[in-house]
Amino acid sequence: MEKIRKYMQKMENLLFYVFLFLLPFQIRFITYQHDWRFSEWRSMSLYATDILIAALFVFWILQYRSSILRNFRTPFILLSLFLVAAILSLKNVSFLPLGVYALIRLIWAVLFFIYVSIYAGHRFSAPGAAFALMAGGVFQAIMGIAQFFRQSDLGWRFLGESLLSPESSGVAAFFNIAGEKIMRAYGATPHPNVLAAYLLIVLFAICFLFLKQQRHHSLILAAYGIVLFAFFLTFSRTILFAWFVGILILIIFVIKKEQKRNIFLRQILPLFFVSLFIGTVFLAICWQEVAARIVLSPQEEAVSLRMYYNSEALGSGSGNINVFGVGIGNFVSWFMENRPFLPSYIYQPVHNIYLLIYSEVGIVGIVVFLMFLGFLISRALRHDTTHTLAHKAFFILVGAFLFIGFFDHFPWTLQQGKIMFWGLLGLLAYISQQ
């Protein structure tokens, strides 16, 4: 029996680290699409990561015996209330099957949050998880770098890579100051912003490894440089801004702690020099693109569309306040019904997860969700008695994702974004219980 138990543990460890490596891949089977023209927001898919998570849940059920409610009562109640609000929103859906699918996806995300917070957080090695993320990040970074310099996809459809070209409809591209249309790096993800978010997590994981590991510093620094360069090639302004501000906050925290200054000079300085070198190389190669992207104008389509989506979301209720929402997973369907003559590429979720939740689940849903977030954050800050650099960095990472949620919808709508978002919240809940 002991041999079987150890074999099961090894299998579970391997499965978890493979899951982290495959997290950003868009490997899936599309089970349903509502129209002849494919729309991500009106379709249903089964992802490879769904199967891996289901297998991890089986290990969890077989090996875990403690009560779910232990040290978890308040967030469990708030999440239950949020699910009730989501169920009630189904009465307003434009297309019920999409609403049911979105509800199942939400329940799946909540279960993943619980899994991370009460089981995975203490079951798996933090350095092991960081190594798996680093390996996955380097792979995605190399893909993204190759795509950017080829300005096309690599033809790796078996990994879920999209068909990419600067001239293709729906591909994230922009004009540099020379008037050339430039495609951003995708990796195997559905959008450069998703790749940027994943690489942001990977960068923090690599920094954690660099500070914790006594060996392989040169290898870790090389991986950091490759991932950072690809991170820049996503040209994701919001996420790059969140990374830059987060690093500044972390440096200020270290410098203010007098006893930490030697650690800063001895350990963090190499990361700073690699960042400076990679940033210089990036600016030298991509100056025309940086000069174009750094200018942000209200007339720019990315900005004007976000403002338009926000106004539509705020006006999605029948009265001044949207009580029950237009139905979970049905914002785009509602949008198409109420604005039927717009170009097809306009029909997207509102690029703000908080407004998206409000529009789909209503005022009760968003209030309960914000209470849930507030409880997690306040409890984690109260329980942070160690004041370690790793904890501070993690809090900054969570804050970055909550900030990103004001400007993009992928943490709520896309498979990779959901895993990252709910996984980080689960780790936050886990830390607050220690």
Q: How many CB atoms lie within 10 A of CB 196?
A: 29
Average of per-residue pLDDT across 22-31: 94
pLDDT digits (tens, 9 = 90+) for 235-283: 999 999 999 999 888 877 777 765 555 656 667 788 889 999 999 999 9
Average of per-residue pLDDT across 148-152: 96
- Can you read off the two tokens belonging to residue 68? 């779910």
User: Which of 59 and 67 is assigned the larger pLDDT?
Assistant: 59
pLDDT digits (tens, 9 = 90+) for 303-322: 888 899 888 888 765 556 78
**Which of 85-94, 206-215, 293-302, 414-423 has the least mean pLDDT?**
293-302
How does strand 43-47 pair with strand 28-33? Answer: antiparallel
Residue at 281: amino acid letter: V
For residue 394, the Cα-to-chain-centroid distance in whole angstroms is 14
Looking at residue 206, its pLDDT comes to: 95
Q: Is the pLDDT of residue 71 over 80?
A: no
Contact 350, 309 (CB under 8 A): yes
Average of per-residue pLDDT across 346-358: 94
Q: Is the pLDDT of residue 389 over 80?
A: no
Q: Alpha carbon of 232 to those of 7, 168, 226, 287, 331: distances in Å?
A: 41, 22, 10, 12, 32
pLDDT digits (tens, 9 = 90+) for 81-92: 999 999 999 999
Average of per-residue pLDDT across 211-217: 78
Looking at residue 87, its pLDDT comes to: 96
C-alpha Rg value of the chain to the nearest Å: 22
Distance CA 184, CA 168 (A): 12
Distance CA 250, CA 268 (A): 11
Question: Ranked by mean pLDDT, which of 236-240, 345-349, 386-390 comes out on top?
Answer: 236-240
Distance CA 329, CA 187 (A): 26
Average pLDDT over the chain reads 89
Question: pLDDT tier at 191 (50, 70, 90 boundaries)?
Answer: very high
Which residues does 283 contact at the CB level (< 8 Å), separation at least 6?
290
Residue with tokens 């009730």: 84
Average of per-residue pLDDT across 300-304: 81
Distance CA 99, CA 411 (A): 18
Q: What is the pTM of this model?
A: 0.93
Q: Is the pLDDT of residue 34 over 90?
A: no
Looking at residue 67, its pLDDT comes to: 46
**Helices (H), ranges, 90-216:** 96-115, 121-123, 126-150, 192-212
pLDDT digits (tens, 9 = 90+) for 154-168: 999 989 898 999 988
Q: Is the pLDDT of residue 387 over 70?
A: no
Share of the chain above pLDDT 90, in %: 63
Q: What are phi and psi of 36, to 5 degrees?
A: -65, -30
Run of H or E residues at 28: strand 28-33
**Which of 62-71, 189-198, 387-396 has the least mean pLDDT?**
62-71
